Amino acid sequence: MLDQIEDLKRRIEAETLDSEEAVEAYRIRYLGQRNGLVTLLARQMSQVPRAERPAVGQALNALKRLAEQRLEDARNRLRQHRQTRPVDLDLTLPGRRAFVGSVHPLTQTLEDITRFFERYGFSVETGPEIEDDWHNFTALNFPPDHPARDMQDTFFLEEPTQGKDGVVLRTHTSPVQIRVMESRRPPLRIIAPGRVYRNEAISFKSFCLFHQVEGLYVDEGVSMADLKQILHAFARALFGDDVQMRFRPSFFPFTEPSAEVDIWWPDANRPGGGRWMEILGCGMVDPNVLEACGIDAERYTGYAFGMGVERITMLRYDIDDIRIFYENDLRFLQQF
C-alpha cells in the first residue's frame, strides 16, 4: 500500500498542468469522486492491517493534500495567465462586414411611381384596407349583383344584410377615389398607393394580396388624351424610352370609356419572343360616380387609373413569379 502511495505521488508530481483541459483531466483522473486514483486508494484503507493503519493513513492524507494542492496551484496559475497574457487579436485583419438591410423591391417600385406622379402635381392619399361595401362597390357604380362582389373575389369581414352595408377587405384602391371626392371639391389630382386583397386562385401572376397605385384627376375639361399622355410618360419613365405599350379597350363599372394598358415583356431566352403583361386599368370617371360623390358631372370630368405594383416590378426586374415577393427569402431580397 505504501508503495502504491509512493508511486501515485511520483505520477502526480510528473503531471504538466498547462491548460484548462489538462487540469480538468487531472482532476478527474486523481480526485474524481468515483474513479479517481487517490479516491480508489483511500477506499482500500479497510483492508490495511490494523497495525499499519496509522502510517498508511498519514501517507494517504499527505498524498491527497498534494493532489489537491497541485490542482489549486494549477488553477491559480491559469487564472493569472488569462489576466495578463497579451490579447490574441490581429488588429490588421479586415473587419467583418455588417449585414445592411435593403429596400424591398416592391417598396422601391412604389417609391419610383410616387416620385413620378408627384412631379406632375399629384398628392399622395391613403384609405383604410378594411372598407365598407359603399366605398368598395356601390359608389363605384357596381350593380347590386355584379360578380366582383361575389365571395370568390372578395374577402368579406361582414356579409351585407338587409339595410346594413357589408364590410370587406378592399379589393382595389378605387375606394380612395370615393373618399377623396366625398370630402373635397375639384380640382383634384391624387394618387393612392396601398395594399388590396382578393380571394383568387394563387398562381405565378396572382396572389391573395398585392399592391396598387390609384390615380385620380378631376377638373374642368379633363380628357382621354390627358390620360393617354400621362400613362405614356409613366411607361417611359419606369421602363425606358423603347418600352412597347398597348392601350386596349376594356370595361370597369366606374369608368366610361375604359381601357387597360399592357407592356411587352421580352423573353430573355427566345429572341423576338415574349408576351403582353397587363399592368393597369383606367378610363374616364363615370358620371354616375361623380354624382354619387356630389360632384357636378355636367361641369367636371376626370380620369382614373389603378396599376398593379407587383406586375410592374416583375417587368422591371424580369421576375417570373409574384409569390417570391412574399417569401422573405434573403437570397432574393439581397439582390436589390
Q: Could you please report the per-residue DSSP string of 183-232?
A: H-PSSEEEEEEEEEE------SS--SEEEEEEEEEEETT--HHHHHHHHH
Residue with smaller CB distance to ligand PHE, 11 or 246: 246
Q: Edge-to-edge strand order for the sheet containing 130-132?
A: 130-132, 167-169, 156-158
Residue with smaller CB distance to ligand PHE, 154 or 255: 255
The minimum distance between CB 190 and ligand PHE, in angstroms, equals: 12
The minimum distance between CB 212 and ligand PHE, in angstroms, equals: 6
The minimum distance between CB 238 and ligand PHE, in angstroms, equals: 18
**Pick from 105, 113, 161, 173: nearest CA to 313:** 105
The minimum distance between CB 135 and ligand PHE, in angstroms, equals: 12
Query: CA–CA separation, 322 vs 307, rounded Å?
Result: 15
Residue with smaller CB distance to ligand PHE, 105 or 306: 306
The minimum distance between CB 93 and ligand PHE, in angstroms, equals: 55
The one-character DSSP state at 52 is G
Residue with smaller CB distance to ligand PHE, 26 or 173: 173
Query: CA–CA separation, 169 vs 325, rounded Å?
Result: 20
The residue behind cell 421576375 is 319
Binding residues for ligand PHE (CB under 6 A): 172, 174, 252, 255, 281-283, 304-306
Instruction: State how far the alpha carbon of 321 is from the alpha carbons of 9, 106, 185, 205, 245, in Å.
Output: 75, 13, 41, 6, 21
Give the nearest residue (CB) to ligand PHE.
Answer: 306
